[in-house]
Amino acid sequence: MRIDIISVLPELLVSPFEHSIMKRAQQKGLLEVVVHNLRDYGLGKHRQVDDYQYGGGAGMVMMVEPLSNCIEQLQVQRSYDEIIFLTPDGKTLHQGIANQLSLSKNLLFICGHYKGIDERIREQYVTMEISIGDFVLSGGELAAAVLVDSIGRLLPGVLNDETSALFDSFQDGLLAPPVYTRPSEFKGWKVPDVLLSGHDKAIEDWRYEQSLNRTKERRPDLLQK
C-alpha cells in the first residue's frame, strides 16, 4: 500500500513513521508513506498557499490553486482509491473505516490548516472526509498520523502475530478484555485462575464475558449499534 500525504508542515509527520510498527511496515515493503510539501506548489516568490476568506471573517483559508496543482500532479502518477480530507466535520473514524481502507492500494490524504481548505477542493477532488473526534487540532497532520497507523497495522505481515489485530477493541463491536502477564502473583494481586488453567474454551468464554461487561460499563453505545 502507498499513502501520499499533502501538508504545509511535513516536519510534523517525520517521527510518527520512523519508529515502531510503522517503521517496520515500511522496511518490509508493505507500506510506503510519502509526504508532500504543499509549499512546493505555492504561488509567487513566497510560495503562498493561503489567503483571506471571501466575505470576511477571522482566519486564513488554504488556496484552491496550490492544492489542485499538487493533487493533479499526483493523480498523473497513480490512481487513488480514496482522496481523504482530515477535517473536524468529517465522518468520525472507527475500526470499520480502518478495516475498509486497509484493503486499498493507493490513498491520498489532505491535511487542513488555518480555517480549512477552499470548498472547491472538497467538491471536486475529495472522496472521503474523516475526523478523529469531536475536537479541533491546529492541523490535520496528527489526524493523518493516527489514520495511517490505524490502517497500516492491519496490513498482512505488518504485525508479528497477524491474529493480534483481530482481537483488538472494536473489531467485534466490543472493548478488549483485561490482559495479564508474568508474574502470576504480585503484591498479593493474582491473575484470574481461568487464564492459568490451560482450558482454551473456558478462557475464550471468560474473555468474551469480560469484553461484554467492560463494554456495558464503559461504552454502552457500542452495544446499541
Domain boundaries, the chain: 2-152, 169-224
**Top-tier CATH class for 2-152:** alpha beta
Model pLDDT, residue 224? 87
C-alpha grid cell, residue 41: 506548489
Q: In what order do the strands lie in the sheet with 128-131?
A: 32-37, 2-7, 106-111, 82-92, 128-131
Q: pTM surpassing 0.95?
A: no
DSSP structural state of residue 74: H
Q: Give the integer Cα–Cα distance in Å for 168 and 164.
A: 7
Model pLDDT, residue 165? 63
CA distances from 189 to 83, 180, 192 (A): 50, 11, 10
Report the sign of the C-alpha dihedral through residues 37, 42, 45, 46, in that order. negative
With contact defined as beta carbons under 8 Å apart, do 174 and 211 qualify? Answer: yes
pLDDT in tens, 141-187: 999 999 999 999 999 999 976 556 656 667 778 999 999 999 999 99
Count, in order, helices (H) and strands (E) of the chain. 8, 9
C-alpha grid cell, residue 15: 517521527
Report the topology of domain 169-224: Trp Operon Repressor; Chain A (1.10.1270)
Model pLDDT, residue 23? 95
Model pLDDT, residue 161? 67
Q: What is the mean pLDDT of residues 34-44?
A: 97
Model pLDDT, residue 197? 97
Model pLDDT, residue 173? 86
- How big is the chain, counted in residues? 225
Model pLDDT, residue 126? 98
With contact defined as beta carbons under 8 Å apart, do 68 and 125 qualify? Answer: yes
Model pLDDT, residue 163? 56
Structure-model confidence comparison of residues 225 and 119, the more confident one? 119
If 0-12 CB within 10 Å is exposed, 13-18 middle and 19+ buried, where does residue 185 land?
Answer: exposed
Report the sign of the C-alpha dihedral through residues 16, 19, 20, 26, in that order. positive
Q: What is the mean pLDDT of residues 132-147?
A: 96
CA distances from 31 to 11, 24, 84 (A): 19, 9, 17
Residues in a beta bridge with 131: 92
Q: Which of 37-41, 82-86, 127-131, 159-163 has the lowest mean pLDDT?
A: 159-163
- Taking 60 as the threshold, does the pLDDT of residue 132 lie above it? yes
Q: Give the integer Cα–Cα distance in Å for 195 and 62.
A: 54
At 123, the amino acid letter reads: E
Q: What is the mean pLDDT of residues 59-80?
A: 97
Q: Give the integer Cα–Cα distance in Å for 60 and 52.
A: 5
- Taking 70 as the threshold, does the pLDDT of residue 198 lie above it? yes
